[in-house]
Amino acid sequence: MNDHALAEELRQVIGELVRKVRAADSMPAGEAASLGHLDRGGPLTAADLAHLRGVTHQAASKSVKELLGRGLVDVTPHPSDGRKLLLRITELGRDHLQRERSQRAHWLDTAIQALDPEERQKLRECVPVMVHLAAHTPNSEDANRPSSPAPG
C-alpha cells in the first residue's frame, strides 16, 4: 500500500471510529467540543470557540446558549475589552464533560477488550505514532496540494 492509499484508509477508519465513539455521547458534538475547549484552554470568548471549532460565530453562539441555559458554562466580563464576555466552564460543566469522556473511554475499552492480546499490543505500539501524527501540522500549501502516489 502506497502512502496516499494509507492516508485515505487511515482517514476513513479514524472517521468511522470517531463517529462510533461519539455515538456514546449524551450531548451534541458542538456542545461537547465547546466544553472540551473551555476545560483545556480556560476562559474563551464565543469568537475564540468558533475559531477553535472551525465553525461560524452563529453556530458557536447556539452551542454556548444551550450550555449557559443548562448551567454548564458561565460568563464573566473580559478583563481588557468591556464589549466582550469570557465563557468559563462551571463545576457542573466539568462534571458533565467528565461523564461524557468516561462514556467514550468505556466504549473504547470495551472495543479494545474484544481484540486478541497481539492486536492490543500492536495498538499500544501505534499510540505514540498516532500522537506524533496528530502533532504534525502541515503548512497551508501542503494541506491544499494532493500528494503524488508513491512509486511501486
Q: Residue 140 above 60 pLDDT?
A: no
Residues 6+ apart with CB under 8 A from 63: 28, 30, 31, 33, 34, 49
Amino acid at 125: E
Q: Residue 150 above 60 pLDDT?
A: no
Which pTM does this prediction carry?
A: 0.73
How much is the average pLDDT of 29-54?
Answer: 93
Q: Rounded to an integer, what is the distance from CA 136 to the centroid of its chain?
A: 16
Q: On the CB side of 125, how many CA atoms lie within 13 Å of its CA?
A: 6
How much is the average pLDDT of 75-104?
Answer: 92
Q: Which residue has the higher pLDDT, 76 or 142?
A: 76
Adjacent-strand bridge partners of 89: 73
Angle, helices 46-53/29-41, rounded to nearest 10 degrees:
110
Mean pLDDT of the chain: 88
Q: Fill in the DSSP letter of residue 83.
A: T
Instruction: Copy the grid coordinates of residue 144.
Output: 491544499
How much is the average pLDDT of 107-123?
Answer: 95
Q: Residue 133 above 70 pLDDT?
A: yes
pLDDT, tens digit, for every residue of 47-84? 999 999 999 999 999 999 999 999 999 999 988 888 88
Instruction: Copy the grid coordinates of residue 104.
Output: 467514550
Q: Determine the pLDDT at residue 142.
A: 53
